[in-house]
Amino acid sequence: MGKKKGKGAVELIALVCEETGIRNYTTTKNRRNKQEKLELMKYCPILRRHTLHKEGKIK
């Protein structure tokens, strides 16, 4: 059984490093609970330090 590809409450998103522009992480977000864009401090392996990662679309 596969998943349905409709518009559900949970959305798959990518976290994009603000300094390098590389998509390092993927996560899920509930659209009903969180309307604003997700921003987290995550580790960037290119820069080898923690940087701000913002929500972006998965290509």
Q: Which pLDDT does position 2 carry in this prediction? A: 60
> What H or E segment, with its residue span, contains residue 50?
strand 49-56
Does residue 5 fall inside a structural domain?
A: no
Q: What pLDDT does 3 receive?
A: 64
- For 34, the domain range is 10-56
The per-residue pLDDT for range 3-24, each reduced to its tens digit, is 666 678 899 999 999 999 999 9
Q: What is the CATH number of the domain that holds 23?
A: 2.20.28.120
Ramachandran angles phi, psi of 19, nearest 5°: -90, -35
How confident is the model at residue 1, as a pLDDT? Answer: 58
Within a domain: residue 4? no
* Structural domain count of the chain: 1
Query: 2 lies in a domain?
Result: no
pLDDT of residue 22: 95
Which tens digits make up the pLDDT trace of 29-48?
998 998 899 999 999 999 99
